[in-house]
Amino acid sequence: MSSINSRIINLQKAIEARRMEQEAPIDLLSLSLYELQGWASGLDEQGKAALLEALNTPGEDGTVGLDLDMEAIDRMIADLKG
């Protein structure tokens, strides 16, 4: 049920963004943030776990993992939702 509610909320936000875009063009940064927010809102527990693993895994280019926990991922997603 929460998956359906989440999708309805995302559709409402998409409709609002489209309406605002028609009134005034959206800059690319705002559009990117909006798309990130929609993507993050659609993550289920498995998706959040995959994101957590990706962020905690060191990169091949020498970057270090972030050493986050699931609570940090949940806070990041909540912050994106505003």
* C-beta neighbour count of 52 within 10 angstroms: 18
**Whose CA is closest to 53, among 41, 68, 39?**
68
- pTM exceeds 0.75: no
Tokens of 23: 């009134």
Is residue 33 helix, strand or coil? helix
Residue 29: which domain range?
A: 2-81
Q: What is the pLDDT of residue 63?
A: 92
pLDDT digits (tens, 9 = 90+) for 16-53: 878 877 777 778 898 898 889 889 988 999 999 999 99
User: Based on the structure, what is the number of domains in the chain?
Assistant: 1
Question: 20 near 26, Cβ under 8 Å?
Answer: yes
Q: What does the angle CA 28 – CA 32 – CA 38 come to, to the nearest 5 degrees?
A: 145
